[in-house]
A and B are shown apart, each in its own frame.
Chain A
Amino acid sequence: MATINLVDLKKSYGNVPAVKGVNLSVADGELIVLVGPSGCGKSTLLRMVAGLESVTSGHIEIAGRDVVKAEPAERDIAMVFQNYALYPHMTVRGNLEYGLKNRGTPRTEIDRRVNEAADILEIGQLLDRKPRQLSGGQRQRVAMGRAIVREPAAFLFDEPLSNLDAKLRVQMRVEIRKLQRRLKTTSLYVTHDQLEAMTLADRLVVMNGGLVEQIGTPTEVYDHPATLFVAGFIGSPPMNLIPTSALGTDGANGLPAGTDIVGVRPDALLIQRPEGPCIALEATADLLEPIGGESHLHVKLEGSGQAIILSVPGRPDIAESAHLTIYARPSELHPFSSQTGRRTDTVAKS
């Protein structure tokens, strides 16, 4: 049980900055997901917390203790790696025990913890096998087990699901979430998959270019993206980012000063006029992609030619090149400034 505090944490390789000053407080028992495109610094950040990368400047506190200079083993953390990093020459039991043995844990305690972890993860029957005899999902469980038996202050997950196939990934995601709720261990979880991030996180940390773009609950981040980057990164299909010039004078009315881009989620754009105030845009249909319960409608705004995606329920009968009017409620518009890259209204918190 522990908190993690990162204070102005920086990392550069030579002159190339990878992490440019990150502040983050992780509450006890919280699962924080670091998400961002590859090269955004999220993995480096996690590896600094683990002690696998040296820190250029700043502080890392785990359970109130400054660990910047501490060896990984002294930080009371456990880590789950992308490729599982199971010791290939040891049995599953050997893998689970190794960290405990190194710490001089008494035999009875080791056995108790290994059996308990094996029960939780349902890998009891695999204990005497070698990693190469296991399936991807089973290896994933063993990797989790190796973290659990340690009963550490914090779990660190480095893209633990990205080597699994799509179906197994969803299943393991649910299990990780349930497990973390049950154990209530403070966790940092790195992923590039925004859907995984949204479903797992107590709070999200969206990173880009070595900086934190936004920290918030999944709902906050989705509903009020703080920056243009977050707006484009979180959500699938991504938020439409439309220059105000393409909205016409009617649509641009009443936006905060300095706004030159408006974001609107595909599902907030409607093809039927809703009740109450709304803006209307003229468009030409490009392509309709039915994806089951809903459809993605690709259109181009008339005049500007701006491409836009709508997420519409069911399978509307719209012919290609048909003209149509699309609507959005003013409350669904997210105003941004392309100069600062930030939101221009004050709702956003960070």
Chain B
Amino acid sequence: MQTKRTIFPNKLLPYVLLAPQLAVTLIFFIWPAAQAVKSSFEREDPFGFRTTFIWFENYTRLFSEPGYVNSLGKTAIFAVSVTLLSMSLSLLLAVAVNRVLKTNRVYTTLLVWPYAVAPVVVGILWWFMFNPTIGIGPYMLRGLGIDWNHRIDGTQAMILVVMAASWKQISYNFLFFVAGLQSVPQSLTEAAAIDGAGPFKRFWTIVFPLLSPTTFFLLIVNINYAMFDTFGLIDATTNGGPNQATNILVYKVYADGFLGLNIGSSAAQSVVLMLIVIVLTAIQFRYVERRVQY
């Protein structure tokens, strides 16, 4: 790994400099993670006096539990829907902004600020909008003959959290797509225009393929976001319900661990989540490697 050509000769100083970061990391990250891994292989007796090492029993029990399998499925549906919905909207907006010259600053400003809204606040906003009694969403849907009540209807609950989560992520995707579009050399689209390609054809044959690194990167980031950063959003809109219809993994691990106090199962869930993050991070960095040498 790179350093400078010349380096300072101090022996002790670098450790002192690293100490705060490493201390925080070891105490609040590595140690708890190790604890989670350890308890995922153990069973505590009801009084908490004795723990027994039980190999993979927590895991086998976990994966045979219908609630967990359901949660896996809901998480997949949620993550994929949010990613697709948010990314396609953002791409459309980014392409549009990239076409306008004078007003693009104004549009950009109006589109990026939801990044700063806390997921839980996003949840409250959408919950308010789709509140079955007073929300404007259900009111308009009633006009179309649709009876909206996400407190009862699991599918509607899922649609609601997907919309809310996608709404928040639009700003992020939009900014990265704009950056990606700006790095497509103008000479290429000009060459294609001279070759007689119209605007739509130019986009699908030239611009979109060249955007693929950005698209791929955002794909990973969005899945990551949907899986791990949406705890507050779920907590504010549906509480994982109705009937577990929106009980995604991060919500379940919290609910089982803190409210249900099942340490072994919760630990096993944590470990599964960690494995998922590790895989996502690994994919992301394998791709990022080309841009950054670590």
Query: A residues near B, CB below 8 A?
Result: 47, 52-54, 71
Contacts and interface: CB of A to CB of B under 8 A. Distances in A.
The 5 closest A-B pairs by CB, nearest first: A52-B6, A53-B6, A47-B6, A54-B9, A71-B9
Contacts of A71: 9
Contacts of B9: 54, 71
B63 to A, nearest CB: 51
A54 B8 CA distance: 11
Contacts of B6: 47, 52-53
Contacts of A54: 9
A54 B6 CA distance: 9
The secondary structure that dominates the A interface is loop
Nearest to B5: A52
A289 to B, nearest CB: 40
Interface string B1-44: 00000100100000000000000000000000000000000000
Contacts of A53: 6
A47 B9 CA distance: 15
A46 to B, nearest CB: 13
A53 B9 CA distance: 10
B10 to A, nearest CB: 11
A72 to B, nearest CB: 9
A74 B6 CA distance: 17
Interface residues of B, number: 2
A53 B6 CA distance: 7
A69 B143 CA distance: 86
A54 B9 CA distance: 10
B1 to A, nearest CB: 17
Interface in B221-237: none
A52 B9 CA distance: 10
Nearest to A51: B6
5 contacts: A47-B6, A52-B6, A53-B6, A54-B9, A71-B9
Interface in B46-91: none
B3 to A, nearest CB: 14
A71 B6 CA distance: 12
Contacts of A52: 6
B5 to A, nearest CB: 8
Nearest to A50: B6
A188 B112 CA distance: 57
A71 B9 CA distance: 9
A119 to B, nearest CB: 33
A71 B10 CA distance: 11
A262 B6 CA distance: 44
A71 B8 CA distance: 10
A173 B30 CA distance: 59
A290 to B, nearest CB: 42
A83 to B, nearest CB: 13
Contacts of A47: 6
A204 B6 CA distance: 27
A228 to B, nearest CB: 32
A47 B4 CA distance: 14
Nearest to A71: B9
B279 to A, nearest CB: 37
A295 to B, nearest CB: 45
A52 B8 CA distance: 9
B86 to A, nearest CB: 40
A116 to B, nearest CB: 30
B123 to A, nearest CB: 44
Nearest to A52: B6
Nearest to A47: B6
B54 to A, nearest CB: 51
Interface string B222-260: 000000000000000000000000000000000000000
A41 to B, nearest CB: 15
Interface string B179-204: 00000000000000000000000000
A73 to B, nearest CB: 12
Nearest to B8: A71
B285 to A, nearest CB: 29
A47 B6 CA distance: 10
B236 to A, nearest CB: 45
B61 to A, nearest CB: 54
Nearest to A53: B6
A187 to B, nearest CB: 21
B173 to A, nearest CB: 35
Nearest to B6: A52
B11 to A, nearest CB: 13
